[in-house]
Amino acid sequence: MAGQEQQQPQPRDTEVEEEVPVPPAPAEGQASASTQGVDDLLDEIDGVLESNAEEFVRAFVQKGGQ
């Protein structure tokens, strides 16, 4: 069956051919930049999280699924 692979351009063609550098290029020293990044991220998430955590989590009740 070799040679019968599909050749249509598809998003699969965009898959990485080599490893993507991760995380994308912090300019400063790796460790401190990483810690700083986490602090920034938490600050951002603080502003995004629903207020009333306890009530919000308690109210998320689902019916059965597969």
Query: Does 49 help bind another protein (rule: CB under 8 A)?
Result: yes
Query: Does 28 help bind another protein (rule: CB under 8 A)?
Result: no
Could you tell me if 26 and 37 are in contact, meaning their C-beta atoms sit under 8 angstroms apart? Answer: yes
CB atoms within 10 A of CB 36: 13
In the chain, which ranges are continuous DSSP H helix? Answer: 30-48, 53-59
Query: Does 27 help bind another protein (rule: CB under 8 A)?
Result: no
> Which residue ranges make up the site for another protein (CB under 8 A)?
1-2, 4-6, 8, 10-17, 19-20, 22-24, 34, 37-39, 41-42, 44-45, 48-50, 53-54, 56-66
